[in-house]
A and B are shown apart, each in its own frame.
Chain A
Amino acid sequence: MIHVDKLTKFYGSFCAVDQIDLDVSRGEITGLLGPNGAGKTTTLRMLTGYLVPTSGSIRIKDLSLGDEALAVKRLIGYLPESAPLYHNILVYDYLDYIARIRGLDGRQKIGRIHELVDICGLSGIMHKNIGELSKGLKQRVGLAHAMMGDPEILVLDEPTSGLDPNQIVEIRDIIRAFGREKTIILSTHILSEAEATCDRIVIIDKGRIVADGSTESLKQGAGGERTIHLTLLNADFDAANRALGALDGVSRVEQMDTPDSGELRLKIFAGGPDRLRERIYACVKQTDWVMVEFTQEAKSLEKIFRDLTREV
């Protein structure tokens, strides 16, 4: 759907985006993640044709953004950060204007505006001036703007920044509903946001892609070592250490502070094969220990993010 090849953008001598390669397939919700100033917005602006890349190419559905800009722009709906809409125009008039520019007219136009009013929840504010709307409502009008042409690709720059938790959930639901059939690229620096909305996460730092994959594969892939928490009753550390330490794939067993309740809390470090948890369970089953807690600590996205984007 989207094919980006060695995309580079210089502002003067400052390199904002450095040779990014990216392929996005149809129906994927991709999250661009990165600290402020990493090049997320610049990348999105180039994808939508607002900025011209210094070098590299963007192809969307086999159309080159350089040569067939108009055709490509028809396929894309874009919502820039904090929805910079005109402020001296009524919501209805604005949507009407966007529909006409997108080539809709008459019955078709009215139909599309009605659909968007339902999807984005605009029914109560159509007669209001955009300048008087709250941030969350503005963002919804912005979403309607982006979705007007029924685009195949939706590009959203920090769609939930600055919104309150309820508004975030609303916007997220709209995005998710839309993303069932369409391709969405969104940028954010809020990790839980990316985790909640995206199928795939691309982490950008200093203009380069430093990680790319599904949320799951990022969590497991990065670092390699996993930690398993195990809490046992009726067990002593020496015996447990001996039994569990002998398992294939376990590199180390550590005892954590033991509360008076008689629980033995262990931390098992493992780097090895996948089915380790099954074997730990089988091992415990052979004894008369009682298993009260057994969890695998997923490396959190926060940690991956910090590891990858920390200043060296």
Chain B
Amino acid sequence: MTRTFQIFKKELRDYFVSPIAYIVICIFLLITGWFFFSTFFIFNQANLRTFFTLLPLTFSFVIPAITMRLFAEELHSGSYEMLLTLPVRLSDIVLGKFLAGAAFAAIMLVPTLVYALSISFIGDLDWGPVAGGYIGAVLLGAAYSAVGVFASSLTKNQIVAFITGMVICFALTLFDKVVFFFPPQVVDVFTHIAAGYHFENISKGILDTRDVLYFASVIFAFLYGAHLVMQEKR
């Protein structure tokens, strides 16, 4: 556990000692802010619904950009060899790196609390869906970080890791929205494996164990995948 924590701490600090973290956070805030406030006064409703509806799409390319370096950079520079020969388990490494990515995603959400606060001053904001939305956003960020860690473990090339991660995240986001022309049974299956669907449920303010379990499963599946890939590389 201490080893996982040390790796987590190092990876998280790495984000903030390089400009990448600040650039990514700025881009994220610009995009979400623009899409949210450009329609906010047209709808004239005191809620964060537009923000949360667009979040899975924004996360789909922002989070892979954060996580792409986690394994790919170390594999490229060879420092992975030094890391793995320290007294750590492979699972410590995978978990530490994943937690750093997920924590970064959560940190990225903190400035957006300003949106909620400012709306609460000008209108009557219902905090239930907002709290649900943020819980969902943290879970979604964690799930996409796991995807990103998996994508990063596949290759030495960060760009390839980014694109792979983005494709998987977009697929998870859009599954339920692009399969309407399939037979109903198939649509049902696809809807339930889509992250977008489960995120919508939570962001309505309904915290259902099924949705939480879904995100936990996605995290576990992709981290296990990353573990297998790294194991196979030895």
Contacts and interface: CB of A to CB of B under 8 A. Distances in A.
A101 B3 contact: yes
Interface stretch (A42-50, A175-183, A268-276): A42-50
User: Dominant SS at the B interface?
Assistant: helix
Interface residues of A, number: 30
A101 B86 contact: yes
A25 interface: no
Nearest to B92: A101
B87 interface: yes
Interface string A76-87: 101110101111
B18 A85 contact: no
A73 B87 contact: yes
Contacts of B79: 84-86
Given A84-B79, A97-B10, A51 B234 contact: yes
Interface string B1-14: 01100110010001
Given A87-B77, A101-B3, A103-B2, A49 B10 contact: no
Contacts of B81: 45, 50, 80, 84
B88 interface: yes
Nearest to A151: B87
Contact of B85 (A50, A52, A86): A50
Interface residues of B, number: 20
Nearest to A81: B78
Interface string B77-102: 11101101111110000000000000
Q: Among B3, B7, B17, B81, which residue has the most Cβ atoms of chain A within 10 A?
A: B81
Nearest to B86: A101
A15 B48 CA distance: 60
Nearest to A80: B81
Nearest to B79: A84
Contact of B6 (A49, A82, A84, A97): A97
B85 A101 contact: no
A48 B85 contact: yes
B234 A74 contact: no
Contact of A101 (B7, B17, B78, B234): B7
Given A52-B234, A101-B3, A84 B77 contact: yes
11 contacts: A50-B85, A73-B88, A74-B87, A80-B78, A84-B77, A88-B18, A89-B14, A89-B17, A101-B87, A102-B86, A103-B2
